[in-house]
Amino acid sequence: MATSPADVPATRADFTIDQDWDRYTAGEHGVWRALFHRQAELLKGRSTPEFLAGIEKLNIAADGIPDFRRLNDMLARATGWRIVAVPGLVPDDIFFDHLANRRFPSTCFIRKPEQMDYLQEPDVFHDVFGHVPLLVNPVFADYMQAYGRGGLKALGLGSLHRLARLYWYTVEFGLIRTADGLRIYGAGILSSKGESVYCLDDPQPNRIAFDLLRIMRTKYRIDDFQETYFVIDSFDQLFAATAPDFTPYYEELAATEDLEPGAVLPEDHVIHRGIARA
Ligand code: PHE
Ligand code: FE
């Protein structure tokens, strides 16, 4: 085990540790292999093509938990991002500072075999399989860095809860509309067996066209599948919509009420499953 709670190596001031890749056991690599095979199969025709392109470019494969040193060689050449190993969730300011400097904090421990279907905290499968492939995409790579800068600003403005919703409904649970229908790009879905099917196939959840202020008003669930997914048309749209200074948005939002996760407003643009065009 690289980082079981008992032997977490001392963290540095920026909370980074060493991945200690050589210490993974055959059993741990086996858990990765099983998760990888299962998601690769489930995500056929469900994940956005940019995700697959990233998986291929970085050679993320079934053989085992990737060595961050190897991934970083390729990632640095592609978009200047690199992965830094952390023991778990890190304080907000530390997290944003990493993103603002194109460093993606990734856990390195892997879930136990009995946690294959659900894990409450991020592990290396969620972080590396779910998040890292899109860092190869130049527009998404820029979005993540801009988010880090915006996070530092939101912290200072007391509006972090608003910005956190944007991360949740894009980076973690985002859907994207392609010519072939809806596809997944959110890491929380890509690394989840149940939700990668539910979010596209189940009639229950709302699928609503991306709307920045609407998202920043909407609470989210951390204990179950999402009640609402927000759908972007492209990473360019996401980047452009989030480029303006958010300070006036935060002021405006202070006068509005929060929305429940499952709320649908008359002005929402509800998107029907599998329909590619607006
Ligand atoms: N433009 C935002 C701001 O001024 C920062 C941001 C960029 C936030 C991209 C999220 C994503 O606060
Ligand atoms: Fe995540």
Domain borders along the chain are 2-277
CA distances from 211 to 43, 95, 124, 218 (A): 26, 25, 31, 11
User: What single-letter amino acid sits at 119?
Assistant: L
Q: Under CATH, which architecture does the 2-277 domain have? A: Orthogonal Bundle (1.10)
**What lines the ligand 1 site, CB under 6 Å?**
143, 146-147, 150, 153, 166, 242-246
User: What single-letter amino acid sits at 60?
Assistant: I
Segment 170-189, tens digit of pLDDT: 999 999 999 999 999 999 99
Q: DSSP alpha helices (H): ranges in the chain?
A: 26-42, 49-57, 68-79, 92-100, 124, 138-157, 160-167, 187-190, 193-201, 212-216, 235-241, 247-253
Check residue 6 and give its pLDDT.
47
Number of other CB atoms surrounding residue 253 within 10 Å: 17
Distance CA 208, CA 230 (A): 5
Which atom of ligand 1 is closest in space to residue 149's alpha carbon?
Answer: 5
Q: Could you tell me the distance, in angstroms and rounded to a whole number, from the CA of residue 20 to the centre of ligand 1?
A: 34
Joined tokens for residue 183: 């596809």
Q: What is the pLDDT along the chain (278 residues), one digit of tens a residue?
A: 444 454 555 679 999 999 999 999 999 999 999 999 999 999 999 999 999 999 999 999 999 999 999 999 999 999 999 999 999 999 999 999 999 999 999 999 999 999 999 998 999 999 999 999 999 999 999 999 999 999 999 999 999 999 999 999 999 999 999 999 999 999 999 999 999 999 999 999 999 999 999 999 999 999 999 999 999 999 999 999 999 999 999 999 999 999 999 999 999 999 987 544 33
Check residue 45 and give its pLDDT.
96
Distance CA 73, CA 77 (A): 7
Q: Could you tell me the distance, in angstroms and rounded to a whole number, from the CA of residue 145 to the centre of ligand 1?
A: 9
Distance CA 194, CA 211 (A): 26
